Structure 1
């Protein structure tokens, strides 16, 4: 039986009878797009009507449960692939996933195409580090999904990380002049001096630098697993660092502490250290200290294997960067000495001066 037609429909709403002899309602302005409305009198009819009347798209239904991107991300976060990541990497990826879920958690994960991944990268192009973090998170998600047979194709396959700006090399490395300026501002006996020497003489990242303490040191060597890679590093406590730690101030479980003598989170330490650098007139970061440490080690003749053992790197890429730079400097110096030595026999001999008798 056909339902009774209302006496008067709202503006731009019209009624049709479908092939099932049921009344259906549509919204249309002039010859514009026709949009389906809920049944007249339904609880959400007025909400959808007002949305369309304002010239907006109708509310999209949220895809819940199995099939949504949010569902896939939750399954991934329960997997051994995700749980095997370091705490720092999981926190970083969780921040990425939160934004993805807020924006597109309701869509089908099977609808995520290579084009969508590329668009996500381009949306973050102004901040290359964020673009790389986004790609790393999505690669981890879909590589696991492919292995778990949730998808037949990995949409991140072949998508390249954004290239670094020309002339850029990430965080600026500290120079010897920066070291002098910082130490001139923060004397021995200040916590700021301890912070700096822990970074400079261990080569640790912030997250590991705030963790290292006396419990990690045996026979003059600090041993700990790095937060980022989980790789064990063995770091000799050099005399300069040992002297600084002996003066302090340090904590019971961590060398790096705040005003109250308590350990700091890496985020808080990063902010405090930045302020200490600014006070010394050094506009650089904690990571840049790690770079000068690697540069000094390479210049002293450390091999790729030795740098990887000291700094927790793998694959040879990072270590090779420093050793190649050091080798080029040594070769250039050797070449200059050879040129001087080759020219020396051809230089005119000076005539000995004789003193005149008065």
Structure 2
């Protein structure tokens, strides 16, 4: 059964996505094609349709929405001025901003106090087939509305809503063979070799590796505050012999060991892309985060406890550390007791 009444609004186009989701567009003649949010004939759909019909530009529409007190766009503007928003990590704030801008365009005209779980579910449905996007949208909306209760809205419309994520192992940890093949291609003294050694022998994320420089090392001890924790978590590690050898053999930058061809520190994203190219050149499928997982796996296999892993890798709870120690314990137990499979002689 169609979700549209018999008489279709003028200038409306309907499309079915590959995820079997209905999407609506406004287009007058050869003018721009404007996507309309929400189900056909819903409040947010009609508001966007009227705006497109009247010829309002997105910029003008956004400006009007921001100044209507009590609207979702107005609420987002207040949220961006709050301590709750400012205290988010830089990368989290950047990602949330992208989602909030989408929400401003699709639902900014709605009255914030009247946003219901149905509106949240509609937003999740628009991201159907993309569980990561659904999860990030729900997290952004939950943080917004939990901040807004009770001063601006009576309740949190995201309460009880969940996104079921598919089970995945994420980035695969590097194997010893992969590390050996990478080392064989990228010799000691090269920037590509140092990049791997910095990650493998410190277990740092790429967002911290790109910041790491001579100033972080004193008397053979590396000390750095982690970017993901807004530099609240400090990691203190010895500079292991193979890492010291790699640093000493390589030409490095003044404030960052790893620099671009222009002598500037990498961004985390830029480094990830550059390192991926070095991996391809070496014929290995691994990526930067897989080295952090490899380091954690090696440490657990060598007997590190969950709390020791937390200290090394800067984790704030036991859950992630126990992922590695449980796997290592199972491996040790299987190797030690597998002979019990043998049938005993009567």
For residues 190-249 of structure 1, the C-alpha deviation after alignment (integer angstroms, 9 at most, x for no partner) is 111111111111111111110111111223222222111232222221111111011113
Tell me which residue corresponds to 1:58. 50
Residue matched to 1:293: 295
Quick one: structure 1 residues 234 and 132, their matched pair in 2 at CA, closer, same or farther if it must change by over 3 Å?
farther
Instruction: Provide closer, same or farther for how the CA distance between residues 250 and 328 of structure 1 changes in structure 2, counting only shifts above 3 A.
Output: same
Unmatched 5+ stretches in structure 2: 1-5, 11-27, 30-45, 53-60
How far does the alpha carbon of each residue in 1:23-70 deviate from its partner, in whole angstroms, 9 at most, with x for none?
xxxxxxxx96999xxxxxxxxxxxxxx89xxxx953377544211222
Instruction: Determine helix, strand or coil for the equivalent of 1:223.
Output: strand
Which residue is equivalent to 1:8? none
Rg larger for: 1
**2:102 match:** 99
| Counterpart mapping for 1:245-284 below 5 A | 245-284=247-286
- The TM-score, its normalising length taken from structure 1, stands at 0.75
> 1:310 maps to what in 2?
312
Q: CA deviation at 1:291?
A: 0.7
Distance 2:205 2:132 in 1: 17
The count of residues paired between Structure 1 and Structure 2 equals: 293
In 2, distance between residues paired with 1:96 and 1:155?
17
- The CA distance in 1 between the partners of 2:9 and 2:218, in whole Å, is 76
Matched, 1:133 2:136: yes
Match of 2:173 in 1: 173
In the other structure, the counterpart of 2:187 is: 187
1:73-92 → structure 2 map (5 Å cutoff):
73-92=76-95
Task: Measure, in 2, the Cα distance between the counterparts of 1:284 and 1:107.
Answer: 46
Task: Report whether the alignment pairs 1:114 with 2:106.
Answer: no
Give the alignment partner of residue 160 of structure 1, picking from 141, 159, 162. Answer: 162
Cα gap change, 1:34 to 1:114, in 2 (>3 Å): closer
Secondary structure, in 3 states, of the residue corresponding to 1:243? helix
SS of the aligned residue for 1:228 comes to: helix
Match of 2:126 in 1: 123
Corresponding residue for residue 325 of structure 1: 327
Distance 1:283 1:243, change over 3 A: same
Superposed CA RMSD in Å reads 2.7
SS state at 1:204 partner = coil
> 1:102/1:336 Cα in 2 relative to 1: closer, same or farther (>3 Å)?
same
Q: Deviations over 1:139-180 (max 9, x none)?
A: 211111115x21111112222233224xx2112222112111
User: Contact 1:89/1:228 (CA < 8 Å) preserved in 2?
Assistant: no
Deviation at residue 337 of structure 1 after TM alignment: 5.5
TM-score (normalizing by structure 2)? 0.77
Residues 1:157 and 1:236: Cα distance change in structure 2 (over 3 Å):
farther
Distance 1:235 1:95, change over 3 A: farther
Distance in 1, Cα, partners of 2:189 & 2:8: 74
Q: Aligned partners of 1:210, 1:177: CA distance in 2, in Å?
A: 25
Stretch moving more, 238-247 or 100-109? 100-109
How far the C-alpha of 1:339 sits from its partner, in A, is 6.4
**What is the CA-CA distance between 1:298 and the residue it aligns to?**
0.9
* Kept in 1: contact 2:135–2:163 (CA 8 A): yes
